[in-house]
Structure 1
Amino acid sequence: MEYVYFEGKIVPEDQAKISIKTNSLHYGTAIFEGIRAYYDKENDKMWGLFFKEHYQRLFQNMKVLNMEIEESIDDLVEITKELIIINRIKSDIYIRPLVYFSDLKISPKLIGYSAKIAIYTYPLGDYIDINNGIKAVVSSWTRLNDNMIPPRLKVAGAYVNSAFSKTEAILAGADEAIVLNKNGYVSEGSAENIFIIRNGELITPPVSDDILEGITRNAIITIARDLGYKVIERHISRTELYVADEVFFCGTGAQVSPVVEIDHRKIGDGKPGRITKEIQSVYFDAVRGKIEKYRDWVVPIE
């Protein structure tokens, strides 16, 4: 029996039910987060990754949608830890908090409604091939911008844009999409931030290029700089992807995922690059609590 957090308490999953009249179900006005916890098999220990940072971002997103819930950030951190313990989890997992307007009313507005939060977990390892790398294509779909549905928000309805680009990529025989913004610059993957490497320097689009303000992105920037690499935030043109020495996606779900082909063109030698693998190695040690200077990124589940 799996347990989830629903309507203010931890309950068996089969008791977590909403009405088909629930407002956010109709209009996509739900805010969510994607959080990971990792199992260190060597030491038989679970580590929660960036719990507080994810819930801080959740609250920032809620503010934009005029949402308020009873729980505090610290409450949600403790509830999430409790869920992992009560479910007796000893594996890498994904955690999905979802805040939604719970009123049984039909009207697309962001005022006058009550919000509630639900949280559940499920096993998740490497859903992208992080060892051999993946193939990507540049999508024909344009990234949403801040005056449409702000990309800095993890709002449910916005992910139709992601679904269009991801589906197009899969049907084209690729693993993932790269999406351009309205100005034709590289924005991100369908649901991941992106970095390219040229001449030993990491380059990533700025927040103003309609990207998610990625928590993993910030961690990668920190790791890269600690390793002595220069990190530049600037526009990236489509064809610059083709001539990059290395390319990788990053995100809570994607972790650090090398891209070895874009639009049927090999990136570098067509294999995961040296710098990408170096950053990837440090990241995977950090998320399992093995690097002291990054220990504040993780919280022990006990």
Structure 2
Amino acid sequence: MTVLEKPPYIWFKDAVRPWEEATVHVWTEAVVRAASVFEGMRGYWNEQESRHYFLHMPDHMRRLADSARVARIPRIVTFEECLGALHDLLSAMPYREDVYIRPTLFLEEGRYSVGGSPDDCGFFVAIFPSPREKSITSGLRCQISSWQRADDASAPPRVKAAASYYNLRFARMEATSNGYDEAILLNRQGKVAETGGASVFLVRDGRIVTPHVGSSILESITRRSAIELLTAELGLRVDEREVERSELYVADEVFLTGTLCEITPVVDVDGLEIGDRKPGPVTRELQERYYAACRQGQADRRGWLTAGPVLPGEDGSRGKEDGL
């Protein structure tokens, strides 16, 4: 998995600040009771335009607001506020490469994590360089976890909350200690849910299947994009339904979708080979379509991309706005 190196700056308390100065007290609700929600976004570097394009940014900000609403974190972060933070950060750290972006809302004050007003809340944005994972080509070996995915009655998966990832941490630790790359969790009904950070798809006899959103999964934005490409551009049918564990064992292809993993093939589940331990034809075609869409720049016609600031060239010159 990706290890993110600490950048020199972070956006915190309405300004760009040195990383070391972004501190909160140990008795904040975010520390004591993990009262925070977050998003993970990608920014794709466009060398010709000398700027990043942020993927599905309005959708991510909408989901952040939904998570905050359910978690009773009473602050609204607008699209414009987050975009402004990204502009400020990328001006201070002109990364000329793909980046991972983490906007986070958290409670500083409150009794049992119930904040009284927006003044009780904090917000920060961190940006990290994020090169493409080698597993996109080589594939992942996955284990079905003995840990069960939390459900809507205990820790709603549609809320992208830091606290929810403790459940996923147990599963990933178990899988890696057993020699696997990632864990696939089942839900309370014993059906396939998701991994610690991605949605699960399988291909069998030309049909694509993925767990429906009531299967204790995050309402994934990348998952939705994959379904759009598979159906609208590849002309394939995608069944959203309950998925049995054994269906993964007999699948022709299995792949994962997520912000960090993008479109990643699975070549082994519980020691059983998937396909020929290489990305299958549907996975490869989806990868090509997805990566091409992420790299469209100003030619984007799907409405997926939001333009970032034009950054200075390595010689100090600035790229052209090209009417954007």
TM-score of the superposed pair, with normalisation by structure 1: 0.94
The alignment partner of 1:207 has SS state of coil
Q: Which of the numbers 4, 10, 20 marks the counterpart of 2:16?
A: 10
The alignment partner of 2:153 has SS state of coil
The alignment partner of 2:165 has SS state of helix
Offset of residue 43 of structure 1: 4.9
Give distance in 2, aligned partners of 1:128 and 1:27. Answer: 35
More moved, 112-121 vs 166-175: 112-121
Please show how residues 75-154 of structure 1 align to structure 2 within 5 Å: 75-103=81-109, 107-112=111-116, 114-127=120-133, 129-154=135-160
The alignment partner of 1:281 has SS state of helix
Specify the alignment match of 2:175 in structure 1. Answer: 169
Specify the alignment match of 1:261 in structure 2. Answer: 268
**How many residues get paired?**
300
Please show how residues 42-61 of structure 1 align to structure 2 within 5 Å: 43-61=49-67
Q: Which of the numbers 15, 20, 28 marks the counterpart of 2:26?
A: 20
Please give the per-residue CA displacement for 1:92-140, whole angstroms capped at 9, x wherever unaligned.
Answer: 111111111012x6x4232436111111111111246100111001000
Offset of residue 234 of structure 1: 0.6
Please give the per-residue CA displacement for 1:236-283, whole angstroms capped at 9, x wherever unaligned.
Answer: 100000011100011001100000100000111221101101001111
Change in CA separation of 1:291 and 1:235 when aligned onto 2, cut-off 3 Å: farther
- Aligned partners of 1:49 and 1:298 also within 8 Å: yes
The alignment partner of 2:24 has SS state of coil
The alignment partner of 1:80 has SS state of helix
Give distance in 2, aligned partners of 1:177 and 1:6. Answer: 33
The alignment partner of 1:208 has SS state of coil
Please show how residues 213-232 of structure 1 align to structure 2 within 5 Å: 213-225=219-231, 226-232=233-239
Give distance in 1, aligned partners of 2:173 and 2:12. Answer: 31
- Aligned partners of 2:53 and 2:297 also within 8 Å: no
Offset of residue 79 of structure 1: 2.0
The alignment partner of 1:117 has SS state of strand
Structure 2 counterpart of 1:205, one-letter code = P
Structure 2 counterpart of 1:222, one-letter code = E
TM-score of the superposed pair, with normalisation by structure 2: 0.88
- Aligned partners of 1:206 and 1:235 also within 8 Å: yes
Whether 2:302 is the aligned partner of 1:298: answer no
Offset of residue 24 of structure 1: 1.4
Whether 2:289 is the aligned partner of 1:289: answer no
Specify the alignment match of 1:211 in structure 2. Answer: 217
Q: Which of the numbers 24, 36, 43 marks the counterpart of 2:42?
A: 36
- Aligned partners of 1:143 and 1:180 also within 8 Å: yes
Offset of residue 78 of structure 1: 2.8
Give distance in 2, aligned partners of 1:45 and 1:71. Answer: 23
Offset of residue 70 of structure 1: 5.7
Offset of residue 65 of structure 1: 1.4
More moved, 83-92 vs 255-264: 83-92
Please give the per-residue CA displacement for 1:173-194, whole angstroms capped at 9, x wherever unaligned.
Answer: 1101110000000001111111
The alignment partner of 2:83 has SS state of helix
Give distance in 2, aligned partners of 1:202 and 1:12. Answer: 46
Please give the per-residue CA displacement for 1:188-241, whole angstroms capped at 9, x wherever unaligned.
Answer: 111111110111121110000000000000100011012111111011100000
The alignment partner of 1:55 has SS state of helix
Give distance in 1, aligned partners of 2:253 and 2:259. Answer: 20
Q: Which runs of 5+ in 2 are unaligned?
A: 1-6, 310-324
Offset of residue 41 of structure 1: 3.4
Change in CA separation of 1:291 and 1:169 when aligned onto 2, cut-off 3 Å: farther
Deviation beyond 4 Å, 4+ runs, structure 1 = 290-295
Change in CA separation of 1:57 and 1:70 when aligned onto 2, cut-off 3 Å: closer
Give distance in 1, aligned partners of 2:48 and 2:80. Answer: 29
Structure 2 counterpart of 1:272, one-letter code = P
Q: Which runs of 5+ in 1 are unaligned?
A: none
The alignment partner of 1:168 has SS state of helix
Specify the alignment match of 2:245 in structure 1. Answer: 238
The alignment partner of 1:299 has SS state of strand
